[in-house]
């Protein structure tokens, strides 16, 4: 797939030996800038969440400390799962994710989204929520 060495290292650390079918079909077109609609079985282990995380971690410019990615999720659980997966796949890249889920303190959300003055904590990815009316 022509992956960034740091992302690839995290992918192996995460436990992947080879890409799943959805990862094989979706990651490369995403990295080429294509809009992709990817569908897989809803059961656990098909690689859907990690496909998102791998793509995000490949696309983020880690030299920039600005928020670069917004991932919208259909549920709070999926948002939290995606946040954790992006953090894991981005482990060696300093990419950070944050699940912005309704019901959290607005002050806490603002603090998490502010660009840190600490260069070791770059916010490269932000996790979204599915219902715009369920604002943070």
Looking at per-residue pLDDT, the higher value among 130 and 67 belongs to 67
Q: Which residue has the tokens 């079918």?
A: 21
Q: Which of 124, 21, 126, 26 has the alpha carbon at shortest distance from 72? A: 126
Q: What confidence tens digit (pLDDT) does each residue in 78-127 have?
A: 889 999 999 999 999 888 888 888 887 878 877 777 754 444 444 444 44
**Annotated domain spans of the chain:** 5-38+45-127
Categorize the per-residue pLDDT at 1 as very low, low, confident or very high, splitting at 50, 70 and 90.
low
**How many contiguous H segments (helices) and E segments (strands) does the chain have?**
5, 4
Averaged pLDDT, 51-76: 87
DSSP state of 118: S
Q: Is the pTM higher than 0.85?
A: no
Three-state SS at 97? coil
CATH level 2 (architecture), domain 5-38+45-127:
3-Layer(aba) Sandwich (3.40)
């Amino acid at each position: 797939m022509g992956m960034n060495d740091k992302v690839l290292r995290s992918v192996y650390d995460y436990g992947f030996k080879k890409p799943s079918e959805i990862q094989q079909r979706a990651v490369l077109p995403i990295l080429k800038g294509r809009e992709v609609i990817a569908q897989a079985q809803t059961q656990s282990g098909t690689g859907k969440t990690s496909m998102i995380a791998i793509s995000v971690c490949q696309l983020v410019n880690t030299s920039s400390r600005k928020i670069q990615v917004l991932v919208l999720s259909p549920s709070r659980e999926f948002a939290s799962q995606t946040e954790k997966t992006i953090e894991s796949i981005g482990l060696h890249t300093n990419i950070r994710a944050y699940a912005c889920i309704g019901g959290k303190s607005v002050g806490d959300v603002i603090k998490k989204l502010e660009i840190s003055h600490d260069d070791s904590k770059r916010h490269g990815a932000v996790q979204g929520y599915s219902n715009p009316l369920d604002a943070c």
